[in-house]
């Protein structure tokens, strides 16, 4: 069956460029999470959606980061004016209502040069 998909898989951006990362969750999954994973670290929470509502965005590192899920399915993480410290793997995960187990996508590796 179809899992969580993310695109692009790899993105190289020049410092100062804007990027948009897409996540297609598993159909019917209500909850959607974005994580940032730096090299050698575990995933760090960025933001959480339940359907189209962004219920927690406390992990977004700055106001350059913005996420949306307008129709409660596909989500986009946008980073404006990228900086070198934004280089990381961005993981998306989805889960069923009231379930803790998350299903992760393969991630988008962002490199800012």
Partner 1 sequence: DQQVKQNSPSLSVQEGRISILNCDYTNSMFDYFLWYKKYPAEGPTFLISISSIKDKNEDGRFTVFLNKSAKHLSLHIVPSQPGDSAVYFCAATDTGNQFYFGTGTSLTVIP
Contact footprint for partner 1 (CB under 8 A): 4, 33, 35, 40-45, 48, 55-56, 58-59, 91, 93, 98, 100-107
Q: Residue 78 or 97: which CB sits closer to partner 1?
A: 97
Taking the complex as a whole, how short is the minimal distance between the CB of residue 11 and partner 1, in angstroms?
15
Q: Residue 82 or 102: which CB sits closer to partner 1?
A: 102
Residue of 82, 89, 87 lying closest to 6 (CA atoms): 89
Q: Residue 53 or 84: which CB sits closer to partner 1?
A: 53
**Start-to-end CA span in the chain (Å):** 36
CA pair distance 96, 28, nearest whole angstrom = 7
CA pair distance 39, 61, nearest whole angstrom = 17
């Amino acid at each position: 069956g179809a899992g969580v998909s993310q695109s692009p898989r790899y993105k190289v951006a020049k410092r100062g460029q804007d990027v948009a990362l897409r996540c297609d969750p598993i159909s019917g999954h209500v909850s959607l999470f974005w994580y940032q994973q730096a090299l050698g670290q575990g995933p760090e929470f960025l933001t959480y959606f339940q359907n189209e509502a962004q219920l927690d965005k406390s992990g977004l590192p700055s106001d350059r980061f913005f996420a949306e899920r307008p129709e409660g399915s596909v989500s986009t993480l946008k980073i404006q004016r990228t900086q070198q410290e934004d280089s990381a793997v961005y993981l998306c995960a989805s889960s069923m209502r009231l379930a803790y187990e998350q299903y992760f996508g393969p991630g988008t590796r962002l490199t800012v040069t």
